Structure 1
């Protein structure tokens, strides 16, 4: 006994067509029951009389698709997948096959070939939870990503001294951003969640695969290859801004003073003012302006040197200034001068 495989749409057709052939129902009634036209019912009745129920099966079932990839091409892709491009993701391998080997195949085709070979995926693809996507910034210069820089420290981490003190003083970078009116998105906030991680996934995966493909195993060779890799990466994944006009600001004239590290330290004496008066010993802020160090030769040399310079906003705490200077004036004020006179004004 032969087995005939039919789809859910084809299964009710033999009974309805047999009833129509026996003239128990009309062609119109069979067409309404099968959701077909009368003309198509007549065509199916002819195929049923010639071949029975087997004649109603779709004739293309079990036949290879005319658009199917040729077997030699499939074998070539399987060989490259197991040897040269081992460890590549499906999307990365599809790009390499199209650009380097002239094989215009799709990513689903590469995925099906990989699954038939029994090779697992490079990364585990899980169903992503629903989230509302935020729009990208409209223009260049609206958002700058600084995560991963060893010279930048401005995050939500509080030291023990800051927690005991209560209000948190900003870091050097935070103070610079506040002075220039630049907003800051801290890590672990909803706005910053996953931004860097989504960038690292394709960046690190592709870089490792490209280095392995070219046989690069030294740091010098990797650094020499990095500019070409970044240019190709940006060409593939860069999204043009919605607004063509950039929103970068013009640097102010006091940029060197703004980009400085300020510390609170004790001075033995304040620099004399233009009027010739010198201040007393008290605590006042000083700034460390970054100089231009030579190019670092190793990871240990990637530091920044500073030179201490004076600032114009010294003695910001007036209560502390009055308290400290009162004792100094009592000892140094000449006879006949009243307390609170001009000698209390610091230059």
Structure 2
């Protein structure tokens, strides 16, 4: 009965070229160029091929456990830590925490596969991107994206607001919690940012009533040639901060993405601290 040898695509290509060398259809130097190896390496491989046949062309570790394979005991130990401490958290975050808190270094992709095997994680289907990202600003403070995120941040069933400011150029962020998306928390957040980093050139926000008003200008405003502003807008006007309004959440994508990251990472961090 003829023996069947499983060969990789690379080994199959080498076998065809070496067979041509054996039958003197091409020279060894030409075979080395086709295979992308040096003449000396080709001679060594050709000698093994003549003595052992196709089997000599396969990698020696095929069918054997990898040198860096993690043992089943260590895998079970890691998964036990995940089940006890990080259930419901995302694989990338867990991998970071395993290294920080337990001194265990494991790749996020490997951990993701293990969690999928045990039902601790389900594959998330990503929707196709259909928007072109606006290039970042070149300088820190040139544009600050600002937005409030209403969410059950503390896991109590009660929604509160995280007012978040993100520098468009560097991604530097600052945020404050409050009971709602109010003028008070927005002004406090702006005050803290100015004390820490200085007055920004512009603020990119949405058309929420906190930042934008549709009311008619008063007589005094009309006589002075001023546009109607909210209290937050008035403060920005006095400070020389330009107000830019986004027509969609995607337009101020940096702060929107930070809100999503905080809803994942920040909540998980707070859970671990309690």
TM-score, normalised on structure 2?
Answer: 0.61
**Structure 1: stretches of 5+ with no match in the other structure:** 217-347
C-alpha displacement of 1:157: 5.0
Over 3 Å counting, the alpha-carbon distance change for 1:126 and 1:113 in structure 2 is farther
More strand by share: 2
1:11 partner SS: helix
Root mean square deviation of aligned Cα: 3.5
More helix by share: 2
1:59 is the counterpart of 2:60: yes
Distance in 2 between residues matched to 1:97 and 1:29, nearest whole Å: 51
Over 3 Å counting, the alpha-carbon distance change for 1:51 and 1:157 in structure 2 is farther
Contact 2:15–2:54 (8 Å) recurs in 1: yes
Contact 1:186–1:192 (8 Å) recurs in 2: no
Contact 1:10–1:57 (8 Å) recurs in 2: yes
Q: Quote the residue 2:136 is aligned against.
A: 134
Distance in 2 between residues matched to 1:118 and 1:127, nearest whole Å: 26
Distance in 1 between residues matched to 2:73 and 2:261, nearest whole Å: 31
Alignment of structure 1 residues 152-191 onto 2, 5 Å:
153-156=209-212, 158=214, 169-188=228-247
Aligned residues: 210
Over 3 Å counting, the alpha-carbon distance change for 1:16 and 1:206 in structure 2 is closer
Contact 2:182–2:210 (8 Å) recurs in 1: no
C-alpha displacement of 1:213: 4.1
Over 3 Å counting, the alpha-carbon distance change for 1:122 and 1:200 in structure 2 is farther
Distance in 2 between residues matched to 1:190 and 1:207, nearest whole Å: 21
Contact 1:185–1:191 (8 Å) recurs in 2: no
Distance in 2 between residues matched to 1:192 and 1:18, nearest whole Å: 60
Alignment of structure 1 residues 45-56 onto 2, 5 Å:
45-56=46-57
Distance in 2 between residues matched to 1:205 and 1:213, nearest whole Å: 13
Q: Quote the residue 1:316 is aligned against.
A: none
Distance in 1 between residues matched to 2:51 and 2:243, nearest whole Å: 78
**Structure 2: stretches of 5+ with no match in the other structure:** 149-162, 164-180, 187-208
Q: Quote the residue 2:117 is aligned against.
A: 116
Rg comparison, structure with higher value: 1
C-alpha displacement of 1:170: 1.5
C-alpha displacement of 1:178: 2.3
Alignment of structure 1 residues 1-347 onto 2, 5 Å:
1-23=2-24, 25-121=26-122, 125-126=126-127, 128=129, 129-135=131-137, 137-139=139-141, 143=144, 145=146, 147=148, 148=163, 149-151=181-183, 153-156=209-212, 158=214, 169-188=228-247, 193-213=252-272, 216=274
C-alpha displacement of 1:97: 0.5
Contact 2:250–2:256 (8 Å) recurs in 1: no
Over 3 Å counting, the alpha-carbon distance change for 1:194 and 1:146 in structure 2 is closer
**Structure with more relative contact order (C-alpha pairs < 8 Å, separation 6 or more):** 2
C-alpha displacement of 1:58: 1.5
Distance in 2 between residues matched to 1:188 and 1:196, nearest whole Å: 14
Over 3 Å counting, the alpha-carbon distance change for 1:37 and 1:136 in structure 2 is closer
